[in-house]
């Protein structure tokens, strides 16, 4: 190293830290780069841990290796990257006035100060563990690092059968799916009214919940876990909710979420943002220009709302690392923000979102218009075609796309990526519908499902389509609203099974022009079919007959998010 080599200290060795170090080494062959990591494992695949518990990933070390099979340990970084790693080393304090960091070996020894020219905070996040009775019992686990994953897998291997997952967010559900695949009896407990409330609107969450219940998972929402029960020997026996419900379990997973690790930054007097994460500018600099921060410890700009959000994601953390390295090397790079894209897989369902949910958009004051469409991911005549339910959220006056959500067996994640791209550039639903997306029957439909969903929004904005959300329809049915519920499919489909209610009648679309007189003009008429396409056509026919109070059920039977049986007529 040169005598005047740039001294760069990086606190954190999981995602942003190693990415910063690797990129900076490629840009500056002389810099003295040191990673300080409190733990004993580096740059691990945290998002792969549920797949290890499930058994899809058989080798524990796979979570710690590169694609070529090299373990990413301290020796690897020294040999392959020219980066010094001090693992099992805690950063105790940042001394900004002296530009040093006080560190100590967690296994013992005296503290010492390390000098820096540039400092990078990549301290990440820590799991939120509530202060509740029983949280330290044997059999209670968090899923924070591969050590946790290994302990959980060993417990299942040893015979743990009944699992209570406290928290119905992304981590909780991915872990839940792993347990089900292992043959465990699983209960998911979420204090909010629906699962993954930060990612999915109520009808999308209910659609997912309905599927999970069909797969044998017990879902408890709107109920706070008040304590974890002791079997009398210091081992977990189950959980109890605030409303008195008991769930027996021999393993409890606490997956309530994560919080940014900001202690060092706070003590050093660095600015903390409104999300309680570290505030950074577009160059990933903190309020001290010689200290950068990235990954799960910082907040980001939301590209749709323009506000600050805390959106921890491994993909974002790696982007941050590259940008920090570029700026330390003098390249002047910027990070624009995120659309808060998140996807996850649970059993055979693919789920995801990007942008704002309808609930978020309304809270921010947007006048929104939405669509809810069950679509096939590829052409219907290809045997492996599967449905996914897609919801789009747009601004009514401008048509600007605000968000997208998907749930289902079909490849909805591909469509989330398309929507995220449109959101990044501030596009509209027309822009989305007009995209020149790849088409071949084995990969998509001639008009892709997300383009169809965009066109539904456009039809609503043009006052051509008038949908009833299934949540609203369920309220109408439960409260006995006076309306006519019309199954507009052909007679054979109707007789094979319909949503049978006191107000359900069958008037096939093909007969509607000759039978429209059977339907009253003084009542609301709501059409449904399998996927809403026929029902929308029925609405257009009726409005052509000067009926004005006509709507269709968005999603219809395929998108119905509640448990029900199609009853034969």
pLDDT at 563: 81
- CATH of residue 456's domain is 3.30.390.30
Specify if 568 maps to a domain. no
Assess whether 15 and 65 both reside in one domain: yes
Angle (deg, nearest 10), helices 449-461 and 413-424:
50
**Domain final residue pick, 427, 461, 495:** 461
Assess whether 247 and 264 both reside in one domain: no
- Residue 432 · residue 450 · CB < 8 Å: yes
Residue 373 falls in the annotated catalytic set: no
> Domains in the chain: how many in total?
4
Assess whether 20 and 104 both reside in one domain: yes
Assess whether 493 and 453 both reside in one domain: no
Pair of tokens at residue 220:
């408890």
> 47, 176, 351, 353: which is the annotated catalytic residue?
47
Q: What are phi and psi of 153, to 5 degrees?
A: -60, -40
- Residue 387 · residue 376 · CB < 8 Å: yes
Specify if 356 maps to a domain. yes
pLDDT by residue for the chain (569 residues), tens digit each? 566 899 999 999 999 999 999 999 999 999 999 999 999 999 999 999 999 999 999 999 999 999 999 999 999 999 999 999 999 999 999 999 999 999 999 999 899 999 999 999 999 999 888 889 999 999 999 999 999 999 999 999 999 999 999 999 999 999 999 999 999 999 999 999 999 999 999 999 999 999 999 999 999 999 899 999 999 999 999 999 999 999 999 999 999 989 999 999 999 999 999 999 999 999 999 999 999 999 999 999 999 999 999 999 999 999 999 999 999 999 999 999 999 999 999 999 999 999 999 999 999 999 999 999 999 999 999 999 999 999 999 999 999 999 999 999 999 999 999 999 999 999 999 999 999 999 999 999 999 999 999 999 999 999 999 999 999 999 999 999 999 999 999 999 999 888 888 889 999 999 999 999 999 999 999 999 999 999 999 999 999 999 999 999 999 999 999 887 666 66
Q: How many CB atoms lie within 10 A of CB 338?
A: 24
Specify if 249 maps to a domain. yes
pLDDT at 566: 64
Q: Is 93 helix (H, G, I), strand (E, B) or coil?
A: strand
**Domain final residue pick, 405, 433, 461:** 461
pLDDT at 501: 86
Specify if 391 maps to a domain. yes
Assess whether 353 and 428 both reside in one domain: yes
* Cα 131 from Cα 256, distance rounded (Å): 12
**Domain final residue pick, 282, 300, 328:** 328
Assess whether 241 and 267 both reside in one domain: no
Assess whether 251 and 214 both reside in one domain: yes
Domain boundaries, position 430: 348-461
Specify if 341 maps to a domain. no
pLDDT at 314: 94
Assess whether 506 and 488 both reside in one domain: yes
Specify if 315 maps to a domain. yes
Assess whether 115 and 155 both reside in one domain: no
- CATH of residue 543's domain is 3.40.250.10
Give the predicted TM-score (pTM) of the model. 0.94
Assess whether 288 and 215 both reside in one domain: no
Specify if 234 maps to a domain. yes
Pair of tokens at residue 137:
């019992």
Assess whether 277 and 321 both reside in one domain: yes
Specify if 1 maps to a domain. no
* Cα 11 from Cα 91, distance rounded (Å): 7
* Residues ≥6 apart with Cβ < 8 Å to 61: 71
Assess whether 79 and 110 both reside in one domain: yes
């Amino acid at each position: 190293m040169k005598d005047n080599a740039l001294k760069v200290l990086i606190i954190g060795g999981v995602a942003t830290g190693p990415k910063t170090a690797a990129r900076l080494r490629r840009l500056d062959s002389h810099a003295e780069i040191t990673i300080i990591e409190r733990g004993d494992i580096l740059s691990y695949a945290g998002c792969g841990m549920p797949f290890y518990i499930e058994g899809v990933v058989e080798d524990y070390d796979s979570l710690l290796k590169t694609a070529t099979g090299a373990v990413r340990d301290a020796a690897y970084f020294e040999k392959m990257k020219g980066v010094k790693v001090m693992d099992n080393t805690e950063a105790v304090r940042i001394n900004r006035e002296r530009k040093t960091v006080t560190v100590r070996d967690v296994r013992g020894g005296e503290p010492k100060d390390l000098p820096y020219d540039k400092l990078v905070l990549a301290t990440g996040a820590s799991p939120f563990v509530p202060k509740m009775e029983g949280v330290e019992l044997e059999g209670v686990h968090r899923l924070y690092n591969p050590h946790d994953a290994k302990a959980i897998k060993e417990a299942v291997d040893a015979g743990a059968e009944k699992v209570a997952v406290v928290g119905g967010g992304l981590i909780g559900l991915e872990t839940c799916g792993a347990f089900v695949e292992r043959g465990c009896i699983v209960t998911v407990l979420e204090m909010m009214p629906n699962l993954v409330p930060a990612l999915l609107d109520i009808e999308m969450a209910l659609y997912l919940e309905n599927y999970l219940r069909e797969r044998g998972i017990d879902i408890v929402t709107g109920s706070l876990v008040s304590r974890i029960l002791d079997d009398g020997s210091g081992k977990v026996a189950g959980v109890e909710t605030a409303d008195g419900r008991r769930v027996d379990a021999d393993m409890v997973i606490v997956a309530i979420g994560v919080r940014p690790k900001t202690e060092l930054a706070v003590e050093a007097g660095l600015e903390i943002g409104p999300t309680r994460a570290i505030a950074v500018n577009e160059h990933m600099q903190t309020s001290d220009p010689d200290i950068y921060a990235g990954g799960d410890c910082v907040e980001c700009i939301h590209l749709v709302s323009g506000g600050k959000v805390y959106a921890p994601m491994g993909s974002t953390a790696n982007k941050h690392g590259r940008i920090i390295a570029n700026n330390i090397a003098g390249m002047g790079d910027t990070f624009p923000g995120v659309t808060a894209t998140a996807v996850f897989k649970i059993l055979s369902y693919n789920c995801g979102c990007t942008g704002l949910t309808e609930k978020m958009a309304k809270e921010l004051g947007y006048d929104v218009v939405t669509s809810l469409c069950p679509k096939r991911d590829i052409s219907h005549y290809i045997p492996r075609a599967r449905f996914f339910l897609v919801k789009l959220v747009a601004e009514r006056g401008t048509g600007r796309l605000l968000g997208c959500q998907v749930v289902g067996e079909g490849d909805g994640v591909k469509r989330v990526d398309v929507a995220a791209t449109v959101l990044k550039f501030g596009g509209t639903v027309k822009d989305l519908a007009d995209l020149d997306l790849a088409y071949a029957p084995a990969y998509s439909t001639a008009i892709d499902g997300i383009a169809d969903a965009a066109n539904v929004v456009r039809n609503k904005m043009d006052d051509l389509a008038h949908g009833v959300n299934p949540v609203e329809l369920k309220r109408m049915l439960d409260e006995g609203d006076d309306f006519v519920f019309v199954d507009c499919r052909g007679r054979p489909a109707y007789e094979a099974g319909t949503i049978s209610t006191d107000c359900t009648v069958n008037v096939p679309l093909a007969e509607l022009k000759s039978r429209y007189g059977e339907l009253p003009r003084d009542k609301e008429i709501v059409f449904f079919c399998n996927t809403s396409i026929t029902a929308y056509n029925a609405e257009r026919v009726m409005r052509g007959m000067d009926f004005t109070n006509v709507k269709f059920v968005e999603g219809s039977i395929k998108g119905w998010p509640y448990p029900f049986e199609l009853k034969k007529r």
